[in-house]
Structure 1
Amino acid sequence: MWNGRDDGKEIIHKRLFKCLDKTSKTKLLGFCSSLGVERNKGRIGSENAPLKIREFMANFAIHDDFSFDDLGNISEFSDLESADEMLYEKVLNSLKNNEYCVILGGGHESSLAPIKALLDSKKSVGVINFDAHFDVRIQDLHTSGNSFYKAYEYAKENNYKFNYLCLGASSLSNTKALFNTMDKMGAKYVLDYEFDKSFDVLKDFLNANDYIYLSIDIDVFSLSIAPGVSAPAVFGINLKQIIPLLNLIFDSKKLLLSDICEFNPLYDFDNHTARLSAFLAYYLLRKEKLYEI
Structure 2
Amino acid sequence: MHLADPATDMAPWAGREDPEPDSLRWHQVVTPLKRGTAPGVAMLGFACDAGVARNQGRIGAAEGPRAIRRALAPMAWHRLAPAYDAGDVSCHGNEDLEAAQQRLAERVAALLSESHLPLILGGGHEVAFGSWSGLARHLDTRGEARPRVGIINLDSHFDLRSPLLTPGQRGSSGTPFAQIAAECDRRGWTFRYACLGVSRASNTRALFARARELGVLVREDREFTAQHLDAIVRDLQRFMAHCDHLYLTVDLDVLPAAEAPGVSAPAARGVSLALLEPLIEAVRDSGKLRLADIAELNPGFDIDARTARAAARLIHQLTLDC
Q: Considering only aligned residues, what root-mean-square deviation do their CA atoms show, in Å?
A: 1.6
**Other-structure match for 1:86:** 103
**Other-structure match for 2:22:** 12
1:248 positional shift:
1.2
Superposition TM-score, scaled by structure 1 size: 0.93
Q: Are 2:170 and 1:136 aligned?
A: no
Give runs of aligned pairs for residues 90-101 of structure 1, distance below 5 A: 90-101=107-118
Tell me if the contact between 2:247 and 2:290 (Cα under 8 Å) persists in the aligned partners. Answer: yes
Q: Output the CA distance in 1 between the equivalents of 2:289 and 2:256.
A: 26
**Other-structure match for 2:51:** 36
Question: SS of the residue aligned with 1:177?
Answer: helix
Number of aligned residues: 287
**Other-structure match for 1:62:** 77
1:281 positional shift:
2.3
Select which of 195, 200, 210 maps to 1:166: 195
Tell me if the contact between 1:31 and 1:74 (Cα under 8 Å) persists in the aligned partners. Answer: yes
1:7 positional shift:
3.3
Q: Output the CA distance in 1 between the equivalents of 2:203 and 2:50.
A: 21
Give runs of aligned pairs for residues 231-250 of structure 1, distance below 5 A: 231-250=265-284
Give runs of aligned pairs for residues 223-262 of structure 1, distance below 5 A: 223-262=257-296
Q: Output the CA distance in 2 between the equivalents of 1:76 and 1:221.
A: 26
1:200 positional shift:
2.0
One-letter code aligned to 1:158? R
1:121 positional shift:
2.9
Question: SS of the residue aligned with 1:136?
Answer: coil
Superposition TM-score, scaled by structure 2 size: 0.85
Question: SS of the residue aligned with 2:202?
Answer: coil
Tell me if the contact between 1:28 and 1:69 (Cα under 8 Å) persists in the aligned partners. Answer: yes
* Unaligned runs of at least 5 residues, structure 2: 1-11, 140-146, 164-168
1:20 positional shift:
2.2
One-letter code aligned to 2:18? D
**Other-structure match for 2:234:** 200
Q: Output the CA distance in 1 between the equivalents of 2:260 and 2:158.
A: 19
Q: Output the CA distance in 2 between the equivalents of 1:64 and 1:124.
A: 29
Cα distance change of structure 1 residues 63 and 280 upon mapping to structure 2, 3 Å threshold: closer
Q: Output the CA distance in 1 between the equivalents of 2:30 and 2:300.
A: 28
**Other-structure match for 2:209:** 180
Question: SS of the residue aligned with 2:59?
Answer: coil
Tell me if the contact between 1:119 and 1:160 (Cα under 8 Å) persists in the aligned partners. Answer: no
**Other-structure match for 2:142:** none
Question: SS of the residue aligned with 1:92?
Answer: helix
Cα distance change of structure 1 residues 280 and 63 upon mapping to structure 2, 3 Å threshold: closer
Tell me if the contact between 1:192 and 1:235 (Cα under 8 Å) persists in the aligned partners. Answer: yes
* Unaligned runs of at least 5 residues, structure 1: none
Q: Output the CA distance in 2 between the equivalents of 1:288 and 1:166.
A: 25
Q: Output the CA distance in 2 between the equivalents of 1:37 and 1:182.
A: 22
Write the deviation string for residues 37-66 of structure 1: whole angstroms up to 9, x where unpaired. Answer: 000011101111100110111111224544
Write the deviation string for residues 126-156 of structure 1: whole angstroms up to 9, x where unpaired. Answer: 0000000000001131100011110110111
Q: Output the CA distance in 2 between the equivalents of 1:209 and 1:32.
A: 30
Question: SS of the residue aligned with 1:252?
Answer: coil
Tell me if the contact between 1:247 and 1:288 (Cα under 8 Å) persists in the aligned partners. Answer: no
